[in-house]
Amino acid sequence: MASMLKTTLLLGALTGLIMLIGGLMGGLHGVAIAFVLAAGMNFFSYWFSDKMVLKAYHAQPLDAASAPELYGIVTELAQAAKIPTPRLYLIDTDTPNAFATGRNPRHAAVAVTRGIMRVCDREELKGVIGHELSHVINRDILTSSIAATLAGAIMMIATFLRWGAIFGIGGEDSRGGIFELLAMAIIAPIAASMIQLAISRTREYQADASGARLTHHPLYLANALRKLEAANERLPMDAGPATAHLFIVNPLSAAGITRLFSTHPPIEERIRRLERMAAGQATS
């Protein structure tokens, strides 16, 4: 509930940022045009993201014959969650990682790397799959699409503002001066990116918690995260920034101040929260 509230507030902040820019611009049609363009691009992404990302990582289908243990885990947890069994795919890389995609439970897919099948035991794989199915159950693809639409609109508007301020094109109904418009053009995209990333991190915490409840064993996922973090530091994955947020652990480097712009929360904090869940289960 707390994670959903935080996500709602962050989406509201993105919406408020658009309204602030619109008020500053005094009703220029650029706000509406940018929003429609961003919505169109992300609508396409929402409907076809599963095919695009699976193709980008050359993922190959898995079935009960080629991966009986993993397929059994996915089927078991899908039945426990009362959702259709997602399609299962393999990414041929030794870096251990996994992600879920698809616009809803009926069109979901889970992709795992060859590395995660080597590194994690059955219990840890169960923790990972529980996390990924939780993204599907929680409609996180839809949430991220909405956030991307709002952030994309802000970035388009900011580009318009930047060029307009440089060339003195603000429109007669603009309520902001050149320097005010230019400042907003610089600050707004940074703020939008940080809010969008905060939404991504919040959804990761929520998927950890709901995935742990699905498996009834929070430490399954906690132990898997320890292994995955260490292995990804030793053997980084060749992943694109646009799809990094999908993976269960960040395939891109995020240290120091760059953690502010990370799509994932710190692994240590994720593990601490799971350990607290496990302790709570043990004492209840």
Beta bridge partners of 112: 90, 98
Buried b (16+ CB within 10 A) or exposed e, 181-214: bbebbeebbebbeebbbbbbbbbbbbbbbbbbeb
Give the H/E segment covering residue 60: strand 60-62
Residue partners of 118: CB distance under 8 A and separation at least 6: 94, 96
Query: Angle of helix 122-137 relative to helix 178-215, nearest 10 degrees?
Result: 130
Q: HSE (CB half, 13 Å, CA atoms) of 43?
A: 6
Cβ 252 vs Cβ 239: under 8 Å: yes
Buried b (16+ CB within 10 A) or exposed e, 153-169: bbbbbbebbbebbeeee
Q: HSE (CB half, 13 Å, CA atoms) of 164?
A: 24
Cβ 205 vs Cβ 270: under 8 Å: yes
CA distance 141 to 161: 30
Instruction: Reply yes or no on whether 132 is catalytic.
Output: yes
Q: How far is CA 78 from CA 59, 86, 137, in A?
A: 21, 8, 10
CA distance 277 to 217: 9
- The active-site residue, picked from 69, 76, 132, 269, is 132
| Phi, psi (deg, nearest 5) at residue 38 | -65, -40
Residues catalogued as catalytic: 132
